[in-house]
Amino acid sequence: MFNVSNLTHAPLAGPRSILRQVQLFARLGAHPQGQTLSQLCSGMSLPKTTLFTMLKVLESANYLSNDDGVYRLGAAAVALGASMAESPRRNFPSCAEGILENLRQRTGETGFLAVLTPDRLFCKYVAVVETDNWLRFSVKLGSQKPAYATGSGRAMLAYLPNSELETLLDSFRFERLTVKTVSSRRALVAGLKEVRKHGVSTVDSGTVAGVVSVAAPIFGADGQVSAAVSVGGPTARLADRLTTVQQAVRDAAEEVSRILGFRGEWPHMQSGK
């Protein structure tokens, strides 16, 4: 953790100093090759004397390194960043509860968070926020459904590495849960291509007749798909506003991804074929 005692007696101590230190870490994090004092002064609009004092204090505490006048993040800063990045992952799915509640309010439908089971064949629902509508789609917390048949499952399958997906495609037993459940490898592959094209998975009556699921992938700090966020509701109520609901789900998925430390372009196009 950040050892504030090292900075207590620094000439720049105070609320503004703390903000400048965070801004300095952010700038050096964005420039891993390092920055000189002049470059930092220009980029942060600070006087050299002010910034030089800050740099020396942080360097003495191992939060910065200095190699011939080029400053980079030090070991202590890297450890701090790793700890901060790991914290949301340890708190998943609770860290996304507010986003899920906002999604419920925005769409008027039940919101879900799901992950793939270790064998990748099923999606497991790890968080549920139900709508107040008397006619609603409900899923029991902790329940599992075939990944190929659900919006959440397909949102995650679409972004698995191609080699892993190929193995899974050979493992699925395409059981018809409704007359609209995807029933072949070819149909599933076509559906996954659409997910990657639009960044959202929309499945009508995949596991329950008359229910639409709209889901989008969640990515972790390592760039790998880690979960999915979705809403589900009666087809008759969602059919005329799918575009609006899809955007709300995409927004929620990106928000959760950012909380988990994902910094790339969303949706991540790792499995593009």
Any idea of the CA torsion for 93, 273, 120, 219, to the nearest 10 degrees? -10
- Report pLDDT for 182: 93
Instruction: Using DSSP bridges, classify how beta strands 110-116 and 64-67 pair: parallel, antiparallel or unpaired.
Output: unpaired
Q: How far is it, in rounded angstroms, from Cα 109 to Cα 131?
A: 5
Hunting for tokens 């899920």 — which residue is that? 100
- Report pLDDT for 39: 92
Phi and psi at residue 199, in whole multiples of 5°?
Answer: 75, 15
Instruction: Using DSSP bridges, classify how beta strands 35-36 and 70-73 pair: parallel, antiparallel or unpaired.
Output: antiparallel
- Report pLDDT for 25: 87
∠ at Cα 239 (234, 242), nearest 5°? Answer: 110
Q: How far is it, in rounded angstroms, from Cα 36 to Cα 31?
A: 11
213-243 per-position pLDDT tens digit: 999 999 998 889 999 999 999 998 998 999 9
- Report pLDDT for 31: 86
The interaxial angle of helices 15-30 and 48-60, nearest 10 deg, is 80
Which residues have CB under 8 Å from 70's CB, separation 6+? 33, 34, 35, 36
- Report pLDDT for 46: 86
- Report pLDDT for 15: 58
- Report pLDDT for 79: 77
Residue 89 near residue 224 (C-beta atoms within 8 A): no
Residue 94 DSSP SS3: helix
Any idea of the CA torsion for 112, 117, 123, 129, to the nearest 10 degrees? -10
Which one-letter amino acid corresponds to residue 147? Answer: A
Domain ranges of the chain: 4-85, 91-259
Identical fold between 4-85 and 91-259: no
Closest CA to 76 of 55, 58, 62, 57: 62
The token pair at 66 is 């200095």
Fold of 4-85: Arc Repressor Mutant, subunit A (1.10.10)
Hunting for tokens 């708190």 — which residue is that? 91
Phi and psi at residue 179, in whole multiples of 5°?
Answer: -70, -15
- Report pLDDT for 76: 84
What does the DSSP 8-state code read for residue 185? Answer: H
- Report pLDDT for 12: 44
Which one-letter amino acid corresponds to residue 252? Answer: A
Run of H or E including 67? strand 64-67
The token pair at 70 is 């080029």
Fold of 91-259: Beta-Lactamase (3.30.450)
The token pair at 75 is 């070991």
Which residues have CB under 8 Å from 4's CB, separation 6+? none
Hunting for tokens 């499952």 — which residue is that? 153
| Positions of the chain with pLDDT lower than 50, given as ranges | 1-13, 270-273
- Report pLDDT for 227: 96
- Report pLDDT for 273: 42
